[in-house]
Amino acid sequence: MLVEFLITALLIELTPGPNMAYLALLSANQGRLAGLRAVAGVTAGLGFYALLAAAGLGTVVRDTPQLLALLRAAGVVYLLYLAFEAWAPQRENSPARSPTGWQSPFWRGFLTNVLNAKAAIFYTLLLPRFIDPGAGQIGAQALGLGAVHLTVASLVHLSIVLGASRAHAVVAGAQHQPFVRAGFALALVATALWLALP
């Protein structure tokens, strides 16, 4: 059962989605450190869903289609907001002047993931199928599977950041910035439209 869950988690994480797009674009645009901070935020967002699943609150999300629809809509709006910000004139983003608070890569990664309907669906529909009610300790099983998923997701996300950050030196030049901002914005809009599809 664990092997099947591991394969499922890997396939889910290798499927393109908001997290993958955001991490790749951020790392290429702002570099490895920003990408790593965003990975920590994304992982915290996944941990949030893992805790909900362990507490049994995942069934509430699963049985409330309106809540999933609201999550999807909020995720689309947030990605469009990030696209608008990417399109705006470039601000100073060196490590010494990096955004803090809710504007930081960590919190943006966290919000991108919490508002990711794919993550909610994974923890409310897929993860429970790998829990054995006869074995007892449902919450502990959910936490264990959540930990496996967090590990797989973190490895995939780190690979994306490390790969995409290699392009940072190329796109960081001032002459490339308008094209980078436009590409970043268009990619986020495309991801938002993909997320909006039923």
- Model pLDDT, residue 159: 94
Block residue for tokens 């909610």: 120
**For every one of its 198 residues, what pLDDT tens digit does the chain have, with 9 covering 90 and above?**
788 899 888 988 887 777 888 898 888 888 899 999 999 999 999 999 899 888 887 677 767 778 778 877 887 888 788 778 767 665 544 433 455 666 789 999 998 888 887 788 888 878 888 888 888 788 888 899 999 999 999 999 999 999 988 877 666 655 556 676 677 778 778 877 876 776
What pTM does this model have? 0.77
Q: Tokens at residue 8, please?
A: 């499922």
Cα–Cα distances (Å) from 191 to 72, 139, 173, in that order, read: 12, 33, 25
Please say whether the beta carbons of 168 and 30 come within 8 A.
yes
Give the chain's length.
198
Triad 84, 117, 54: Cα angle to 5°: 135
Q: Which of 41, 8, 31 is nearest to 157 (CA)?
A: 41
What is the pLDDT, as a whole number, of residue 185?
77
- pLDDT computed for residue 69 by the predictor: 80
How many Å apart are CA 71 and CA 10, to the nearest integer?
23
Instruction: Give the integer Cα–Cα distance in Å for 9 and 177.
Output: 36
Maximum alpha-carbon separation in the chain: 62
Tokens encoding 158: 């780190």
State residue 175's pLDDT score: 52
Q: What is the pLDDT of residue 95?
A: 39
Which residue, 95, 139, 116, 142, is CA-closest to 194?
A: 116
Provide the pLDDT for residue 124: 81
Q: Residue 169 corresponds to which tokens in the numbers above?
A: 């030196």
Cβ atoms of 106 and 41 closer than 8 Å: yes
